[in-house]
Amino acid sequence: MLASEKDRLAAEVARRYSAFEEALFGDKQKYPLQEFKAFWEAGKRYAELTKSDPFIHKSVANAVHVLTDIVGAGRKRIPAQVPQDAERLVCLIFSGYDPYFEGDEPPGL
């Protein structure tokens, strides 16, 4: 992958994270699920396209590192899927694997 493509993806992840963070701390009435999903998808694309690269862009590492801490910041009602997806993205970015196994389970589970 070209460095410029990796940089473009990293900038998109950072931009989507900023939008999510702004929406999370801006509107206390409604959880910003749409912004979270947009950030998550950008992070997943980054993880898939940079899987063989041993280095993680600093802006992506920063965004994903604090994600699990702020997902529920100041909220009582958080969609059930959000904390799971946050942990999943951490695994995708930092460990290079997807812990989501639906459809890939061994027979009998």
> Is the pLDDT reported for residue 109 higher than 90?
no
pLDDT tens sequence across 5-60: 888 999 999 999 999 989 988 877 788 999 999 999 999 999 988 888 888 889 99
Token pair in block for residue 45:
């694309």
The single-letter DSSP state of residue 66 is: H
pLDDT of residue 98: 76
Of 7-11, 65-69, 74-78, 84-88, the least confident: 74-78
User: What confidence category does residue 104 fall into, taking pLDDT thresholds of 50, 70 and 90?
Assistant: low
Domain range summary for the chain, segments of one domain joined by +: 3-95
Q: Which two tokens stand for residue 27?
A: 């509107």
Q: What secondary structure, in 3-state letters, does 62-90 show?
A: HHHHHHHHHCCCCCCCCCCHHHHHHHHHH
